[in-house]
Structure 1
Amino acid sequence: MTRQFDVDPGLKGSGDFEAVPGADPAPGKGRKVRYRVDVEKGLDLDAALFARAVQETLNDDRSWAHGGAMTFERISSGDPDFVITLASPGTTGVWCAKSGLDTTVDNVSCDSAATQRIMINAYRWARGADTYGPDRMLAYRQMLINHEVGHRLGHNHENCRKPGGLAPVMQQQTKTLEIGGISCRPNPWVYPSA
């Protein structure tokens, strides 16, 4: 989870998805949110590692599960509340466009709200962003999961307000850590001090 991987920023995959097999029970007592993890067929990335990262990140007390508010359960069949999808940049662009979002300019991820899918751009998952650098890949991946799931849970973008403070998880941290002259530090968590 700390390494970078090679993924072509212009990669256009098959567009076919496969659910990561198995399940991870919801560990908490809060409102249960059921999700499935799909990975685009043909991606040379570890699907099981991706699924584990999603489950561990979402159920961390610093994430949306904070204080027992929610608990996240991964399923591979049945009816999920949403589907977290790891896909090539090209396929991510197609699915995000279904919700009126253009992810092709900065090669980013999105919550394709008009569909069931949260699209995680495989290029960003593999390579990260300049704002985090190559030494903070785990933190970047945690931010990516928390940010996009945050949209699905109804949260909009936020910006830094305190110079030198931690960026809100709902800031577009892949693009920048500086907004309106206020520079913040990278932060992957909803509740970083928990």
Structure 2
Amino acid sequence: MGECRDRELVRGDSPGRVRQVRPNVSSHARSRALGCGTLKAVERVTEGARKSDWDIASAGHDPADARGPADGPEADDDAEYEAEPGGERRSAEPLRASWQPAGTAPPERPRRTGVKKFTAAFGWRVYLVPILLVVTALVVFDTTRDPGTTDTAAGGARGGGDGGAPQSDPVATEVPAEQVKLDIPTAELPEGGDYDKTGKGTWHVVPLDENSGERAGKSGRLYTYTVEVEDGLDPGSFAGDDSFAATVEATLSDSRSWPGTGDVSLQRVDDTHPAPDFRVSLTSPDTTKQLCGDVIPFESSCYIGSPHERVVINLSRWVRGAKAFSGNMALYQQYVINHEVGHALNNGHVGCAEDGALAPVMMQQTFGVANDYVAQLNDMPGGDRGAVPADGKVCQPNAWPVPQPKGD
């Protein structure tokens, strides 16, 4: 036991650690010199600070790795052999000893869980893996989603004809007409094309062609009419004389027009006719005001009776229409022809008869289709006072005196 007390404590270490003094003797001689059966192991501590096996394990390394090649050829002498407490050390056993007395169980080292082992083995890479998984999922979602859901969720699928969707953005897109609120002021002239404001105050008759001059209607009194254009107007603003004349004749020959009532027949004639019943005349705004007056401060058309019998179609309205028609120029042109010819057939102004129904063709739809608003305009001095009641009714635009002719 005296030999056991001669072991050297390492300065600065705890009493539980000893420093193995390795004289240059054989392994067998060392075992004889320190052959105490009460010693369990001798831990070899090198000069300087050395981490415990626990510290090395917490860094993710096996304690045996810390004693790798640096221990040289004698590394085999340090194999993990343990002597039974109180027993004799065999000559093949290394010199490893501790201060642990015989019969005392060695302290159990805390075992590392799977998560701790994984974290210790891979370090910062453990935290990088879930981030990469999230980024990958986002990229896959973005590349596999329907490409049309972003650009066309509000307006539906963009067609490229029967061949499917276009492969690139369009260079121009349509601009749909805005829905007009029909119960607010709508008498102002809409924005639109250019037109001549002034003409010469005289008109020329548009001649018939081989497809013109047919009688429309088989019953009632026959009314004849000419189609005329004021001199001095630029034909480019209204597509020319022939276009205007064709629109007038096609409208008055339609079964929804006045011949559809069965009360009258209409027939277009030229300047060879001695005395037509009325003259449908495209007229500049300035000349229109001279003939029709300007009591209501908005562009309008009118009918001038005897001795002129002239249906005055205001060029500004022919080119731009009316707000109540929401940009439907063809419907407005049909309306203004039927409305003014209705005056030539002795029809006066009326208001909207049924809320939400089609407006009567003799309603002043150039100004609007709301009774309250049209009545307000008519109440001006010189207006058609009392023709339209202010009863809150609002109709829909309509161009025809017979919207549903018999047999249709």
Is TM (by shorter chain) over 0.5?
A: yes
Asked whether the 8 Å contact 1:88–1:121 carries over to 2, the reply is yes
The CA deviation at 1:43 is 1.6
The CA deviation at 1:172 is 0.2
Asked whether the 8 Å contact 1:89–1:104 carries over to 2, the reply is no
Distance, in Å, in 2 between the alignment partners of 1:186 and 1:48 is: 27
Asked whether the 8 Å contact 1:103–1:109 carries over to 2, the reply is no
Distance, in Å, in 1 between the alignment partners of 2:340 and 2:295 is: 13
2:244 to 50, 67, 76: 50
SS at match of 1:37: strand
Gaps of 5+ in 2: 1-191, 372-389
Structure number with larger C-alpha Rg: 2
Query: Given residue 86 of structure 1, which amino acid in structure 2 is its aligned partner?
Result: L
Q: Which residue of 1 aligns with 2:279?
A: 83
Asked whether the 8 Å contact 2:216–2:259 carries over to 1, the reply is no
1:152 to 335, 344, 348: 344
1:187 to 363, 387, 398: 398
TM-score when scaled to structure 2?
A: 0.43
Q: Which residue of 2 aligns with 1:29?
A: 218
Greater CA drift, 69-78 or 34-43: 69-78
Query: Which has more strand, going by share of residues?
Result: 1
Q: Which residue of 1 aligns with 2:75?
A: none
SS at match of 1:125: helix
Matched, 1:119 2:312: yes
Query: Given residue 7 of structure 1, which amino acid in structure 2 is its aligned partner?
Result: Y
Asked whether the 8 Å contact 2:216–2:252 carries over to 1, the reply is no
Query: Given residue 193 of structure 1, which amino acid in structure 2 is its aligned partner?
Result: Q
Asked whether the 8 Å contact 1:93–1:103 carries over to 2, the reply is no
The CA deviation at 1:133 is 2.1
Asked whether the 8 Å contact 1:103–1:110 carries over to 2, the reply is no
CA RMSD of aligned residues (A): 1.7
Higher relative CO (CA 8 A, sep ≥ 6), structure 1 or 2? 1
Distance, in Å, in 2 between the alignment partners of 1:89 and 1:68 is: 34
2:256 to 45, 62, 65: 62
Q: Deviations over 1:72-124 (max 9, x none)?
A: 21111221001111010011111224xxxx37621100001242211000000
Q: Which residue of 2 aligns with 1:128?
A: 321
Q: Deviations over 1:103-155 (max 9, x none)?
A: 76211000012422110000001100111122x11110011000000011010
Distance, in Å, in 1 between the alignment partners of 2:395 and 2:200 is: 38
Asked whether the 8 Å contact 1:5–1:126 carries over to 2, the reply is yes
Q: Which residue of 2 aligns with 1:17?
A: 203
The CA deviation at 1:5 is 4.0
Gaps of 5+ in 1: none
TM-score when scaled to structure 1?
A: 0.88
Asked whether the 8 Å contact 1:164–1:183 carries over to 2, the reply is yes
Asked whether the 8 Å contact 2:224–2:268 carries over to 1, the reply is yes
Aligned length: 184
Percent of aligned pairs with the same residue? 41
Query: Given residue 230 of structure 2, which amino acid in structure 1 is its aligned partner?
Result: E
Q: Deviations over 1:145-187 (max 9, x none)?
A: 0000001101010100211111100000000110132111000
Asked whether the 8 Å contact 2:309–2:344 carries over to 1, the reply is no
Structure-2 change in CA distance of 1:151 and 1:27 (3 Å): closer
Asked whether the 8 Å contact 1:92–1:103 carries over to 2, the reply is no
SS at match of 1:183: coil
Query: Which has more helix, going by share of residues?
Result: 2
Matched, 1:165 2:357: yes
Distance, in Å, in 2 between the alignment partners of 1:116 and 1:188 is: 22
Matched, 1:176 2:368: yes
Matched, 1:95 2:287: no
Asked whether the 8 Å contact 2:224–2:278 carries over to 1, the reply is yes
